[in-house]
Amino acid sequence: MKSAIARLSAETAGVLGEGLRRAADYAQANELLEHLSGIEGFFAREPEMEQCLALLEPAVAVAEDSGRREYGDFQTPASLTNAICSRLVQEQLTPDVVIEPTFGQGTFLISALTHFPALKAVHGVEIHEPYCWQAKFAILELFVRNPALNRPRIFLHRSDVFKFDFRALTTQLNGQDTVLVLGNPPWITNAELGSLKSSNLPRKTNLKALRGLDAITGKGNFDIGEYIILMMLEAFSRRKGWLAMLAKNSVIRNVVYDLPRAMHRIGDARAQKIDAQDHFGASVDASLFTCRFLADTNARTCKVTSFDNPASVERVFGWIDGRFVSDAATYPKNRRYDGISPLVWRQGVKHDCSQIMELRLRDGKYMNGLGSELDLEPEPIYGLAKSSDLGSPVVAKPSRLVIITQHKIGEDTAHLAEDFPKLHRYLSENASLLLQRKSSIYRNNPPYSIFGIGDYSFKPYKVAISGLYKRSGFSLVPPFEGKPVMLDDTCYFVGFEHLPEAAIGWALLNSEPVQALLGSLVFLDAKRPYTKQILMRIALDRVASDTSFPVLVSLLHRLGQGLCLDVTERDWHAFLEVVKRGEATVSPPSLFASTALSPTG
């Protein structure tokens, strides 16, 4: 309350102080404040009124609250809330009721009160008490300064949005009233909350009770803003109205992804991109997500525009013929190759302890991430290519080395002591760092365990792509110093026994049809644009059957730049058979034994 009162203008503080001093009791004080501001139950208890009176005396220093990360707190500046509400007015939105599920300092509430003259009621929820006071006093200030402004009934609840009963609220609303759900829900993921040991999450029971949210429970990571938007659609999309909420682009994508399952009746879904760096100082891609409730059609797609140029649609993403795509305009041309990959895409090795597990070679000696020189047996040490190594079409030399302690997940590591005593000593000396690995996958597994490991990791030839980078090119990763190269867990790959089949797979994956398909499926603003799920949609068998041998040869020459990657027609037919059968690694060795990977003069 302190900081909220300190922000009041002298005029409003004067009006408030005088009114409160005249009030006989706190019920009368609340009456006066309802008259002044429209807010019902301004003070929940008498001591709050007394505190307010005391604070109105001197000027108070503002003490801002810290440690609010778990609340995904990015207060929207008034310049943006005003611009958004003006835009909604231009678009002929005339709400009777505004609902702000996490109203914070109340900038959206103030903008709504000043922009929507026909408002009858405003309902807001916020968990953080100081913000509740700030919002209340900001509204009071607004009406003291603008006595002629329309004054709807205002209900501001200090509550956890996940516990607030929005269904009860819907039953209180007049069936004819149009609703606008407005705001900017928290920007934080459940994984971040986990690392903060925060419980600012929806209760599981709620999750199950709400339709359409099973998608979220199945997802490893989700943003709580996503959950709140789905809660709002669940509660209000069967009434007349709209939703207009700021959110990360990833949140909007997930909401649209969940639409068919959730069966919300919405239309005109749009994501208007904003500059989050400029407005929030946050380097994240975010937009204003808007949609209309009770639409005559079920929207399954969302138009993307910029907030500054809403008339120019950059692309449309969402569901087309039961497939989720990033670009609905180009997708029909590429849909033939959207199927099931005959090759199994794998994620690279995960160890979560690069200081100990990743090595570099300096003057022929192994160096770990702590800068220590190591004497280790070379057998369990392999080349390691990371996303940054996959910038070139062929990874001739991986940038690092990695210790491989297992051949498959969960394999016993006790044998290391006998088979590789130097390595075993090194790992046991550094066991404390390995034990600190946070991920729960390491619990109840043998010491020094790694993940993303299996027979496939030891295929000598790999074709790989970075999950993190925007580039859609695939790199060929041949063995290094006679051993297969491992990829790290930011990369995805398919493995091959022989160079010709790897070279053919590599050429086809870099061919125009696959590249165009990826352009229609991939969201380049995602944290991980390329995922196993997307790569498993590449129907390489169809791409292969639509490609002629001469076209393949010219593709290889174009990509090979300086490398002799000759494949024979026999290799090509063998590859066609392999992708038709659906497994690239069972080919008989003799078929692919001829080609060597060598630089040409």
Which residue's structure tokens are 């009030």?
23
184 binds ligand SAM (CB under 6 A): yes
The binder of ligand SAM chosen from 12, 37, 111, 200 (CB under 6 A): 200
108 forms part of the interface with ligand SAM (CB under 6 A): yes
Q: Please, is 367 exposed, middle or buried when counting C-beta atoms within 10 Å of its C-beta (0-12, 13-18, 19+)?
A: middle
- 85 part of the interface to ligand SAM, by CB under 6 A: no
Q: Which CB, 130 or 369, lies closer to ligand SAM? A: 130
CA dihedral 320, 325, 328, 329 (to 10 degrees): -130
State which of residues 3, 30, 37, 76 lies at the interface with ligand SAM (CB under 6 A).
76
Q: Between 131 and 572, whose beta carbon lies closer to ligand SAM?
A: 131
Is 190 a binding residue for ligand SAM by CB under 6 A? The answer is no
In the chain, the largest separation of any two C-alpha atoms, in whole Å, equals: 99
Residue 255 DSSP SS3: helix
81 versus 430: smaller Cβ distance to ligand SAM: 81
Strand locations in 184-263 (E): 241-248
Closest CA to 476 of 484, 468, 364: 484
Minimum gap (Å) between residue 157 Cβ and ligand SAM: 9
Select the span of 178-186, 234-242, 323-331, 520-528 touching ligand SAM (CB under 6 A). Answer: 178-186
Residue with smaller CB distance to ligand SAM, 84 or 591: 84
Stretch that binds ligand SAM, among 127-135, 352-360, 535-543, 561-569 (CB under 6 A): 127-135
Residue 193 CA to residue 147 CA, distance in Å, equals 43
Q: Give me the helix-helix angle, 26-37 and 46-56, nearest 10°.
A: 70
CA distance linking residue 466 with residue 478, whole number of Å: 16
Nearest-angstrom CA–CA distance, 20 and 52: 9
Q: Is 124 in the site for ligand SAM (CB under 6 A)?
A: no
Q: How many residues does the chain have?
A: 601
Closest CA to 228 of 209, 250, 213: 213
Tell me which stretch binds ligand SAM (CB under 6 A): 25-33, 103-111, 208-216, 576-584: 103-111
E-only strand ranges, 187-320: 241-248, 266-274, 286-293, 301-306, 315-320
Helices (H) and strands (E) in the chain, counts: 25, 22
* Candidate list 26, 43, 103, 331; residue touching ligand SAM; CB under 6 A: 103
User: Minimum distance from CB of 111 to ligand SAM (Å)?
Assistant: 10
Which CB sits closer to ligand SAM, 251 or 507? 251
| Residue whose Cβ sits closest to ligand SAM | 104
Member of 2, 7, 128, 471 binding ligand SAM (CB under 6 A): 128
By the 8 A CB rule, do 246 and 274 touch?
Answer: yes
Q: Does 162 participate in binding ligand SAM (rule CB under 6 A)? A: yes
Name which of 112 and 556 has its Cβ closer to ligand SAM: 112
CB-based contacts of 480: which residues, under 8 Å, 6+ apart? 382, 383, 397, 398
Name the one residue in this structure whose structure tokens are 């990829």.
Answer: 487
Segment lying near ligand SAM (by CB under 6 A), choices 97-105, 191-199, 357-365, 394-402: 97-105
Q: Cβ 280 to ligand SAM, closest distance in Å?
A: 8
192 part of the interface to ligand SAM, by CB under 6 A? no
User: Which region, judged by CB under 6 A, interacts with ligand SAM, from 56-64, 184-192, 337-345, 516-524?
Assistant: 184-192
Among 51, 75, 198, 354, binds ligand SAM (CB under 6 A): 75
Indicate whether 324 belongs to the interface with ligand SAM (CB under 6 A): no
CA distances from 533 to 223, 492, 521 (A): 20, 11, 11
Least separation in angstroms between residue 193's CB and ligand SAM is 10
Applying CB under 6 A, does 345 fall inside the site for ligand SAM?
no
Check residue 487 and report its DSSP letter.
Answer: E
How many residues contact ligand SAM, by CB under 6 A? Answer: 24
Applying CB under 6 A, which of residues 42, 74, 530, 575 lies at the interface with ligand SAM? 74
Choose between 26 and 131: whose C-beta lies nearer to ligand SAM. 131
Q: Which of 524, 405, 539 is nearest to 466 (CA)?
A: 524
For 155, phi and psi rounded to 5 degrees? -120, 110
Distance CA 112, CA 98 (A): 8
Task: Looking at 406-456, list the stretches that DSSP marks H as alpha helix, in order from N- to C-terminal side.
Answer: 416-419, 421-429, 431-435
CB-CB contact of 138 with 112 (8 Å): no
- Show the binding pattern over residues 230-249: x = contacts ligand SAM (CB under 6 A), - = does not: --------------------
Shortest separation between residue 144's beta carbon and ligand SAM, angstroms: 22
Q: How far is the CB of 247 from ligand SAM (least distance, A)?
A: 9
Q: Determine the Cα–Cα distance for residues 275 and 286; give it in Å rounded to an integer.
A: 7
Binding mask 54-73 for ligand SAM (x = CB under 6 A): -----------------xxx
107 in contact with ligand SAM (CB under 6 A) = yes
Q: What residues have CB less than 8 Å from 319, skipping those under 6 apart?
A: 256, 259, 260, 300, 301, 325
Contact indicator for 406, 442 with CB cutoff of 8 Å: no
Candidate residues 36, 127, 251, 325; the one interacting with ligand SAM per rule CB under 6 A: 127
Binding of ligand SAM by 183 (CB under 6 A)? yes
Structure tokens at 303: 């138009």
Determine if 138 is a binding residue for ligand SAM (CB under 6 A).
no
User: Which residues lie near ligand SAM (CB under 6 A)?
Assistant: 71-76, 102-104, 107-108, 125-128, 131, 160-162, 183-184, 186-187, 200
